[in-house]
Amino acid sequence: MAEKKLVEAITSMSEDFAQWYTDVVKKAELIDYSNVKGCMVIKPAGYAIWENIQRQLDERFKATGVENVYMPMFIPESLLQKEKDHVEGFAPEVAWVTHGGLNPLQERMCVRPTSETLFCDFYKGDIHSYRDLPKVYNQWCSVVRWEKETRPFLRSREFLWQEGHTAHATAKEAEERTEQMLNIYADFCEEVLAIPVIKGRKTEKEKFAGAHATYSIEALMHDGKALQSGTSHNFGDGFAKAFGIQFTDKDNQLKYVHQTSWGVSTRIIGAIIMVHGDDSGLVLPPKIAPTQIMIIPIQQKKEGVLDKAYELREKLGSFRVKVDDSDKSPGWKFSEQEMRGIPLRVEIGPKDIEAGKCVICRRDTREKVETALEQLEKTVEELLAQMQSDMLKRAKKHLEEHTYTALNREDFEKIFQEKTGFVKAMWCGEMACEEAIKENMAVTSRCMPFKQECLSDTCVYCGKPAKKMVYWGKAY
């Protein structure tokens, strides 16, 4: 009976979604809590997902001319204070280093919550002429934000991310880069993570501290809550003026650069879990799964079974494949493979070997397919592709079915009382109105989508003339 523990221990989604999430991250061995409050240990199964995200995003970045660099992890207090809005946004939640070794520091430093100020300080010394532009730099690192409430991947005092920081000669080029990176994030989510996203611009209230404009991609989780999954900021020349980053242009005039920054973090692993997971655990899209196929031998002590399993692993060498040859029972191994979200399970036992076939089971649909061993490679390839595309289709359907339209305040409030999801509604563009919505309804503007629709002429909440269509939702 001990064998069933793994599966029994997980709370069902419908019963308690938050507990289900916590169970999955623990039971799928993605993370562990650490002795350092609010910080997590990312275990091999979790880190391998991040490595795959890194590799595939990094390739997409480099194809557009991005170069990787590394900045110090500390920011002297005076540097953090150079851009007024920025310091106001971040100072309340940074960790402060006050001593080096046995001595107090002359000036305290924070551990980077984000590195705009460091990049600006560097660019100030490194950019002189139009020939030095554009700078399209990125770094993979960890950042620290001293949050009060934390949850694995979603909100953690330390998390891993990439942060791109660019400098351009013109406002137009900066705007193009801001949008280009948002598109890279959106395409990556759809094509690799099988997560459809809404692309749009953040309102003034929700934009990044110090940005001229913030764009984001917003995904819808299984429980109907939104998760901001990537952001791209256009700073205009605001930081350049605060830091004095000037260059001599072709016309021999001294000008300020225009800057952008953009980032995706380990938070996106939370999105993978909450978009695709089910009551048996994690379900990983094949393109991001560290292990795509688990071969599970049946009656493995019988002669030839394990050898056959290893032979199949060899045969499937172009995929990420493993054999579970531990001394656990097949049922236990099945549960583990399901909990860990491994896309395909190949079952092979004495009878299968005799018949020259095996059984393949898809993680997402539980569908079982029998295949001749000589067809195995081809079948696996097709199944992985099918699963990847089906997962996106299902996530799209969920997004569509949980996106509502509200034309007046009554509907707007009613929908959020009865349902969870995105609500599309017109908005007057006033921050006071947005704040009232948040205050009274506990929902926030997620973004003003690039694909605007004119649903009506008046603001859904205050009735004033409408300026923008907004996606509203409850967010992580």
What is the contact surface with its own copies in residues (CB under 8 A)?
Answer: 32, 34-36, 39-44, 47-48, 50-51, 67-76, 79, 92-102, 109, 111, 118, 121-122, 125-126, 131, 137, 141-142, 144, 146, 157-158, 160, 326
Q: Which two tokens stand for residue 369?
A: 């397919």
Write out the E strands in 1-54. Answer: 31-33, 40-42
Spatial distance between the Cα atoms of 272 and 315, rounded to a whole number of angstroms: 29
**Residue 26 CB, nearest distance to its own copies (Å)?**
12
Nearer to its own copies, 42 or 423 (CB): 42
Q: Which two tokens stand for residue 283?
A: 């379900």
* Amino acid in the structure at residue 173: E
Nearer to its own copies, 25 or 437 (CB): 25
Nearer to its own copies, 96 or 368 (CB): 96
**Residue 148 CB, nearest distance to its own copies (Å)?**
9
**Residue 310 CB, nearest distance to its own copies (Å)?**
16
**Residue 47 CB, nearest distance to its own copies (Å)?**
5
Q: Which two tokens stand for residue 457?
A: 């002429």
What is the per-residue DSSP string for 149-185?
S-BTTTB-SEEEEEEEEEEESSHHHHHHHHHHHHHHH
Spatial distance between the Cα atoms of 438 and 470, rounded to a whole number of angstroms: 13
**Residue 43 CB, nearest distance to its own copies (Å)?**
6
Nearer to its own copies, 199 or 267 (CB): 267
Spatial distance between the Cα atoms of 308 and 264, rounded to a whole number of angstroms: 42
- Our CA angle for 211, 216, 220, nearest 5°, is 150
Spatial distance between the Cα atoms of 177 and 476, rounded to a whole number of angstroms: 27
Give the chain's length: 476
Cβ burial 49-68 (10 Å sphere, 16+ → b, else e): bbebbeebbeebbeeeebee
Distance of CA 420 to the CA centre of its chain: 21
**Residue 41 CB, nearest distance to its own copies (Å)?**
5
Nearer to its own copies, 146 or 450 (CB): 146
DSSP 3-state assignment of 246? strand
How many beta carbons lie within 10 A of that of residue 197, not counting itself?
26
Going 140 to 141 to 145 to 149, the CA torsion angle's sign is positive
**Residue 70 CB, nearest distance to its own copies (Å)?**
4
Nearer to its own copies, 162 or 388 (CB): 162
Nearer to its own copies, 144 or 437 (CB): 144
**Residue 10 CB, nearest distance to its own copies (Å)?**
19
Nearer to its own copies, 150 or 232 (CB): 150
**Residue 40 CB, nearest distance to its own copies (Å)?**
7
Nearer to its own copies, 1 or 70 (CB): 70
Strands in 422-427's sheet, in edge-to-edge order, are 67-68, 135-144, 158-168, 258-265, 226-236, 213-220, 198-201, 444-449, 468-473, 422-427, 403-405
Nearer to its own copies, 157 or 468 (CB): 157
Q: Please check whether residue 323 is in contact with residue 313, taking contact to mean a CB–CB distance below 8 angstroms.
A: yes
Nearer to its own copies, 12 or 34 (CB): 34
**Residue 39 CB, nearest distance to its own copies (Å)?**
4
Q: Please check whether residue 427 is in contact with residue 449, taking contact to mean a CB–CB distance below 8 angstroms.
A: no
**Residue 48 CB, nearest distance to its own copies (Å)?**
7
How close are the terminal C-alpha atoms of the chain, in Å?
37
